[in-house]
Amino acid sequence: MTPSSRSLQASVLSFAILSIGHTLGGKQWSAEPSFRHVSGTKPWACGIVGWYQESAFFMMTSILPCSLSVVA
């Protein structure tokens, strides 16, 4: 295993962990009463969808270099 593939694998692992942690943090964040009572908005449209979209971005960021770490 070359050093470059190890660094790519470390990147894959770190972004996967970041994605999972970000998703779990979203459940805690969106459960707070102050978030649910934002006047004139729908909570799912304001923050929850965007929060999980960012978690999906982190997961995609971890998957993309995965193929490079196998090839390298």
Note the pLDDT of residue 66.
Answer: 73
Are the CB atoms for 72 and 8 separated by under 8 Å?
A: yes
**Owning domain of residue 13:** 3-71
Whole-angstrom Cα distance, residue 52 to residue 56?
6
Q: Look at the chain and report how many structural domains it folds into.
A: 1
- Phi/psi for 19 (5° steps) reads -65, -45
Whole-angstrom Cα distance, residue 22 to residue 16?
10
Which tens digit of pLDDT belongs to each residue from 3-62? 567 888 888 889 889 899 988 887 777 777 776 666 666 666 667 777 888 889 988 888
Whole-angstrom Cα distance, residue 24 to residue 69?
27
Residue the block writes with tokens 């070359």: 2
Read off the pTM.
0.67
Amino acid found at 41: T
